[in-house]
Chain A
């Protein structure tokens, strides 16, 4: 039986990889993929605690998150295509329209 905190370490590792990916990668698609990693780190935690507390709630929640992730990926990719059409780039550091 794999102890619960190993799952938590895996989740933490996935989360950290995701956050670092979001903060450091230039390609927006990769950023989007890193966000998927963060979501999946959450899912791993939810499923791990669901098993630990012997409650089905966490797994249901994980299903919602996966659905949400799919929808989010669809919207995100749509945004990226719209962005590419306007700016001809998918590099995050070249998109600074929010600057004062």
Chain B
């Protein structure tokens, strides 16, 4: 049990890396920084693999390891009047769900760390980048392997902080620091919901421990549709919309592309943004009790999926297309969770981590090759110039578009099928999801063709600098491409003769007596729907081929015909402007108003007090000056006046005194002469 007993090493090793980098990284050489900060997550990944192996031997049991009690909060009254005893541990829980997440985070994270060595090699702040990246790994792993909601929240906030730090990595660029702030603030709005949900959960269950809450929820104490449970679920989902960029809090993710591309790959595609999906899946026992919340999750997921995909159709920045694609794919995951197909959501989360990390790293490689160019209108015909990048990108594109036998196909079709067939699903959800699949195929192939096919639109001075990226970048691409191709095979559906092992593996986490039993569907229906979605995706890809390879003038004509609609979509439905007008400006106005209030009333009161003090002091001063001093001076003056006659004889001249003496003598003599 060695690996599992020391499971805390998995998050702690990257934390050690972050510690070293952020304290001493400046003094280390780039080689030393890479060795420490890539090596430690690598060890962490190996350790996580070891833990996973040992978990498998536990035969579906959940492993928990409590290190110590963190917050012994003591007894307090629960909402139902009984006395609860809340203590929060620093503990780790490894079950099938967190094991999958842990492997994805450490595995994909490690590969992206390796890639960063090449991508960030020429950038300033190399140690800082790896310090933050390690810190992110630590936070994300805490989030994933924590055994209670509060510790999960610690990781949740930690990844938000790292996301902020890394989006604003090029902090000297105004847009980057603004994007960082935006991400942080929008996330905070969601976090407020999460925190409220957490508190409500604590007073309802008297515990925030995953196992205890799940047990209580399954125990039958709460009926299906219970109001408090529904509230908790909705609040938790508000947190998830912030972290996982769902409507209405998705606007930060496209802006987050200001960060370095490996960051976009790791944080804003593969791992952090999936935290919300993980959290909802982790709370599955609660959501099953709240069909209203489930319907909300499904609706938000589906609408986000098609909404973001439609924006992605027309964007020209290569990373922005991928960002909207990420939002859209996250929508798929929530759609799956919303129809109570948590396993399918996690399955898509895992495959998405592979192919989206691949696509981002590939786009980073393209940007690297073109000396920092991100506009796809200035790309083209890179197929032969960057062969490894192009081929791996093709794999990623096929995977996300849902080409049969690649990973995205299995996970997405599982979601589509569940959206249709689940007792919580509906035909409408399926239609939206299929349309999104078609759009996904279109915009991804549009991206691929604009970048790698057609004729070159690269400016001449950039043209002769084009080079394939170094091996430290291409090897991670190849590894991820292999993952993007093959990761889906572990969930090979029954329809195609497999056994859907992945979802069976996760079943212990998600099985619930309150779940509505699935209706039986025929094999031909499932196969037909699968075929339908593949056809729709194929049509999307074919249109992209027609428009961007065969006849490149069509997109311009279509855009012209669509006119204002095209402009509206290109400007992202002006949601940012709407939010600015509705919330940001209002907040600023409120702030300005409060500042004016401060200036006028608060400062006025303070200044008024000061003025009053000064005025009373002035009165006091005048009293002193004229009355007190006046009395003293008057006394002196009176003395002076009365002493004047005595003073005038004091001339100081000896002769005067002598004269007086002489006169005195004469006077006495005269007195004697007259009277005697």
Contacts and interface: CB of A to CB of B under 8 A. Distances in A.
Nearest to A96: B652
A100 interface: yes
A60 interface: no
A72 to B, nearest CB: 16
Nearest to A28: B654
A93 B653 CA distance: 6
A47 interface: no
Contact of A100 (B647, B654, B659): B647
B284 to A, nearest CB: 108
Given A19-B662, A23-B659, A99 B651 contact: yes
A98 B649 CA distance: 11
Given A23-B655, A93-B655, A99 B662 contact: no
Contact of B653 (A19, A22, A92, A100): A92
A23 to B, nearest CB: 5
B73 interface: no
B650 A99 contact: yes
B652 to A, nearest CB: 3
A84 to B, nearest CB: 16
Given A19-B662, A23-B662, A100 B650 contact: yes
B652 A22 contact: no
Interface string B545-572: 0000000000000000000000000000
Contact of B651 (A19, A22, A24, A96): A96
B659 A99 contact: no
A75 interface: no
* Interface range, A side: 10 to 19
A32 to B, nearest CB: 12
B654 A92 contact: yes
A96 B653 contact: yes
A20 to B, nearest CB: 9
A24 B654 CA distance: 11
A25 to B, nearest CB: 8
A95 interface: yes
Interface string B638-676: 000000000100111111011100100000000000000
Nearest to A26: B655
Nearest to A23: B659
* Interface range, B side: 10 to 19
A97 interface: yes
A84 B480 CA distance: 114
Interface centre among A19, A23, A24, A31 (most CB of B within 10 A): A23
A38 to B, nearest CB: 11
A11 B654 CA distance: 25
Contacts of B659: 23
A94 B282 CA distance: 112
Contact of B652 (A23, A31, A98): A98
A95 B658 CA distance: 14
B247 to A, nearest CB: 100
Interface string B178-206: 00000000000000000000000000000
Contacts of B653: 92-93, 95-96
Contacts of A96: 651-653
A31 B658 CA distance: 11
A92 B654 CA distance: 7
B650 A92 contact: no
Contacts of A100: 647, 650, 652
B277 to A, nearest CB: 103
Nearest to A98: B652
Given A19-B662, A23-B662, A97 B652 contact: yes
A8 to B, nearest CB: 15
B378 to A, nearest CB: 102
Nearest to A31: B655
Contacts of B650: 98-100
A90 to B, nearest CB: 13
B239 to A, nearest CB: 94
Nearest to A94: B653
Nearest to A25: B655
Contacts of A23: 655, 658-659, 662
Nearest to A19: B662
Interface string A51-92: 000000000000000000000000000000000000000001
B673 to A, nearest CB: 15
A19 B665 CA distance: 12
Nearest to B657: A98
Given A23-B659, A96-B651, A96-B653, 18 more contacts: A22-B658, A23-B655, A23-B658, A23-B662, A24-B655, A31-B655, A92-B653, A93-B655, A95-B652, A95-B653, A95-B654, A97-B652, A98-B652, A98-B654, A98-B657, A99-B652, A100-B647, A100-B652
25 contacts: A19-B662, A22-B655, A22-B658, A23-B655, A23-B658, A23-B659, A23-B662, A24-B655, A31-B655, A92-B653, A92-B654, A93-B653, A95-B652, A95-B653, A95-B654, A96-B651, A96-B653, A97-B652, A98-B650, A98-B652, A98-B654, A99-B650, A99-B651, A100-B650, A100-B652
Interface of B: 647, 650-655, 657-659, 662
| For the complex of A and B, 7 pairs with smallest distance between CB atoms | A99-B652, A96-B652, A98-B652, A100-B650, A23-B659, A96-B653, A92-B655
